[in-house]
A and B are shown apart, each in its own frame.
Chain A
Amino acid sequence: MSTVAVEVTPTLPEVHYLNADYGWRSWLFTTDHKRIAWLYLFAITGFFAVGGLMATLMRLNLVEPQGALMEPASYNKLFTAHGLIMIFFFLAPSIPTVLGNFLIPIMIGARDVAFPKLNLLSWYIFMLAGSVFMLAVIRGGVDTGWTLYTPLSTTYANGHVLSAAVGIFISGFSSILTGLNFMVTIHKMRAPGMTWFRLPLFIWSLYATSVIFVLAMPVIAITLALIALERVFHVGIFDPALGGDPILFQHLFWFFGHPEVYILILPSMGVISELVAAGCRKRVFGYSFVAFSSVAIAAISFMVWGLHMFLTGQSVYAGFVFSALSFAVAIPSAIKVFNWTATMHKASVSYDAPMLYAIGFIGLFTIGGLTGLFLASLGTDVHLHDTYFVVAHFHYVMVGGAIMGYLGGLHLWWPKMTGKLYPEAWARFACLLVFAGFNLTFGPQFILGYLGMPRRYAVYPPEFQVLNVMSSAGASILAVGYFIPLVYFTWSAFKGPVAGPNPWGAKGLEWTIPSPPPTNNFDVTPIVTQEAYAYGHEEAHVG
């Protein structure tokens, strides 16, 4: 129970999952969940770089009111590809497929996920989807916005909507299979004694995410199939000129689209719970509230989709109900934020990089979440709809929330994944850079939106230039902030000091096994006798 570290120079285990086998076959045909996590890590890092590059180009273009770089048509394609890549090929898979794949079996005391081959298949499906989509981008791209609204996407857009839609359609199945795999794993593979309320909160949030994967992804898949059909045959499914209802598309899209937002943020919330517990050496305050708030968010997220459609022709009465329901999501989200801060209360908080990310997350997510309420109010949304306010809001949630969580998680578990330590000073510096750059990028966009600058435009009135230049300057800081971890992570994987099994003195099954773990995770199936956050006697018995 004591957290006093024993001063022994840690060494790497002789055989672990990274050196158990060599050669490209041992990676591309692996069914080891830890190696599949690495496959995903490489893939999504690539997509993140592409998506990030697009964002950089967009911000460069917006330095000048008339557009500094490109034609408006190219700009349209750029923001569409940026949105689709970031959402479907980076954010949605980020935490679940990298950290989730690596950690779920270890955290619940299993040797692997329930269906290892299916897990590998998910990766191949994901890569196929990514290739199809990137091909569409290279061949000329899509200019419909990531929302693919009809009848623009089905009738009027000239881009490669069809192949882009096929790419996203395929990626949906990768997510479905991953979600299914995780759910079965969490249900059926827990070690003896690992009851639901001894599970780390990360598992709870990934479970909630998986529920959304399983129930929301099929709807977008079938909707994209309808779009493809409509585009090929022009039969009028979503075309008002032929009696079709474009609002139907929006219903189907946002039935998936809003839960998708929670796919992006829920895993991150789970990571934050772990970071806060490890950083404060303390049980997360109100464990069961945090656990159930994940499930509540997943459930409610399916009933609020109409908040995206207040101004697109939806019935105002439905809008009223949607608005009220949207406010309900704020409750479980707020529960989490309050509980994290309550955990930090009177704790000996360490300010290591993972904890810095967690603190950054709490601040940025709170801003992102609260500005969401502005957009969920029927009246204010009329003013703010489709402006930069919306852009700023969801970037605060997705970049300030989801990516901060993802990076924080990577920092916490990097020693577990590689067995090596990264340079702490650089990590803190990068974290601060990301935080500052992020706020400088998206803070001004709130103001721009409030002043009335619409989103998705390549040009803007000259009076908005100052704020836009600020935003672009912030984006370049942000880019540097994202680049630094790439460098020191790569360096540390080869040359970093050996981490030892538990460099943070944290609790949880993953810290009881060597770093990097052996291929089978546990030589003997562990028998769990205590909760996930058994830090010291007092906290363990109080809650």
Chain B
Amino acid sequence: MARRALVATAASIVVLAPLAWFWQASLMPGTYSIMDGHGGHQHHGRGVHTLVADPARAADVRVTLVARKERFRLPSGRAFDGYTVNGTSPGPTVRAVQGQLVEVTLVNESVPDGATVHWHGIDVPNAADGVAGVTQDAVPPGGSFTYRFVAEQAGTYWYHSHQVSHEQVQKGLLGAVVIEPGTPRGGVVALVHRYGAVRTVNGYAGDVVQPSAAGERARVRVINTDNGPMTSWVTGAPFTLAAIDGTEVREPAPVTGQGVLVTSGGRADIEVVVPEAGARIELGGDTAIVLSPPGSVAGKRSPAPARMVDPLAYGAPAAVAPIDPGRVNREHEYSIGRRPGFLDGRPGLWWTVNGRMFPDVPDFRVAEGDVVRFTVSNHSGEVHPMHLHGHHALVTSRDGVPATGSPWWTDSLNVASGETYEIVFVADNPGLWMDHCHNLPHAAQGLMAHVSYEGVTTPFLIGGPAANSPE
């Protein structure tokens, strides 16, 4: 009898011990540096906080953003428990002219977990990137932090907290950024955000009427701040996809009957010549910007088109490739998968990078001046909007098909399951940069890695006294 009980106990141990071991091995310390655990890591070098815009230069644009946790009214009138910037959500649009030095002071009035501001899509100096635990400590209630950067790229961008971002972004700590070239392009911001179950544009639900003149060329700056890709299309007029992720498309051709996929965190500037009857810029199907000349009536939305504008082949190619593929001297692979396991003790099916689960994901090392090629592939069964901080990457191919259209510069790339992209960028902005999934709950579930420059280190810690938690 005893022998039998022994065998049963042994069998149980054989089943349970590996589980216990994997569980234990997955537990994360409360505080650690993103520099830990990677072979040849460096604790000496330039600190990220020294990578700043010229401190001697005076600011051209000064903005103060006050973050609060509160119950507030959306522009639509609905009450919502969340976060505001200067008393509203979305927060105020930060505007600058190309070349201006922008200085933004974040004041955290009452966000208990602390807050930061990340400039999504703007290649700021690393110290201004706003990632808690990597480039700064989360700003505690009562504290403040100043971000300084030169607005070098004209285009449509946005800002959001990068502390407990999967919660703070969803609940409203965000706003738009528009950087105009010397000759302004104008246009309407269409910041799309889901507050709870309701999708809104600039905080309004349903149709948002924008008075326009018939015959006017109107630009709608679509910003998808949600966690899933969104289809945008136009009812009532042909349109051009004028810019992607802030970069102008060369010679964009007018299209009809097609949509534009705006991935999480991504932007698309859509231009139409407003017809007399008006035009609707459909945003996901339940909200729209209605460009409405006097006397016109907002028409009904058209069905979502099945075909999408493919940026790989849209617009005119540049005479000379913006980055010579022959100059690539550093290659990295970013392969996204999924497997069962434990993440910090929690069982589940978790995302993997190159087969490894967070925090054992690769450290994508580069040196300043490198021309870097990333091969990003997704084998995980779900779409991932991949966001690289601090750089714009040029898409050179998808599934082996080379890009033939206007140079496709992106910072937020929709990588569907089964797809493989090759992207190239110049390592010209030293620092420690997140390269993560902008479906923010996915980042919190471990789909997050870093591009780190040789000789750069961070004094900031994940966890620590500031309780930094960038995801």
Chains A and B are bound partners: no
